[in-house]
A and B are shown apart, each in its own frame.
Chain A
């Protein structure tokens, strides 16, 4: 359990979920919609594609 807690992926996924819960509560239903998540992914696509390769540097 301790090993999982110190895993960087576990930390970032927890942080991601926490942010989502926060914005679902504060920003309302408009945040928690499939269309909005697609919009976020479309906006981030370029960063994700370049970062996936850049992390090998």
Chain B
């Protein structure tokens, strides 16, 4: 929405998952291990945010660097192999839990959507992010601390990627330093499919939710039709291109209508 992006999310999820698995393996309880993994994600978010917001690095370069660094550190921590041997069975407790008849992961989705719809509609962070995406200079000169807002968003994403790492390790009952490849592109695809403009200024959380569901349903349905994952990957790429074209077209239409309405 502010016109920035984060390419390091997949590696951070994998890195945090490895940290979580190592902590559990060393005998730490689930909650403190989860907190350590989330803190690791937050720290990477702080580095990303500092590079982009404070030192004005292009987000593509800054987050690409962190993508490689996180992946490298995860591989070093795990000695290049999946952390699975002698793993206590409690690591899978989170993924197998239910709450009011719903799988706990579904509950996490509902909570995340409620929080982010609230942030989008009711808080200054959501409104300022929208303003920065619309016109960064105008937002800056109207008194918005653009650097602080962008920094805060990178930190939030880092923390959530850390939490996603905990979820991933719990699902696999292992820490996989080579996992989550392409995760960042699934995230970007979900965001674009949901109608968020690549150049910033437009978008909604509910749209992103449906965008992610479309990607997942496609994968699930094609699996059921016994279509090879190689073909699924090609199809995903085609949808990515179509989504970008459609996104730009719809956004141009909306902008034209807004300008025409303002002139009238």
Residues of A within 8 A of B (CB): 6-9, 11-13, 15-16, 19-20, 22-23, 26-28, 30-31, 36, 38-57
Contact = CB atoms under 8 A, between A and B. Distances in A.
Contacts of B105: 41-42, 45
B187 A47 contact: yes
Contact of B160 (A22, A26, A36, A53): A53
A51 B106 contact: no
A42 B190 CA distance: 16
B214 A27 contact: no
A9 B195 contact: yes
A28 B3 CA distance: 41
A9 B1 contact: no
Given A27-B221, A53-B116, A54-B188, 18 more contacts: A8-B194, A8-B195, A8-B247, A12-B194, A12-B207, A30-B224, A40-B216, A41-B109, A42-B105, A42-B171, A43-B216, A44-B216, A46-B168, A46-B183, A47-B186, A52-B160, A53-B156, A57-B154
Interface string B128-169: 010000000000000000000010011011001101100110
Nearest to A41: B106
Contacts of B212: 44, 47-48, 51
A57 B221 contact: no
Contacts of B208: 48, 51-52, 55
A29 B106 CA distance: 22
B187 to A, nearest CB: 5
A39 B190 contact: no
A38 B103 contact: yes
A39 B95 CA distance: 12
B113 interface: yes
A41 B191 contact: no
Contacts of A43: 216, 219-220
B226 to A, nearest CB: 10
Contact of B221 (A23, A41, A45): A23
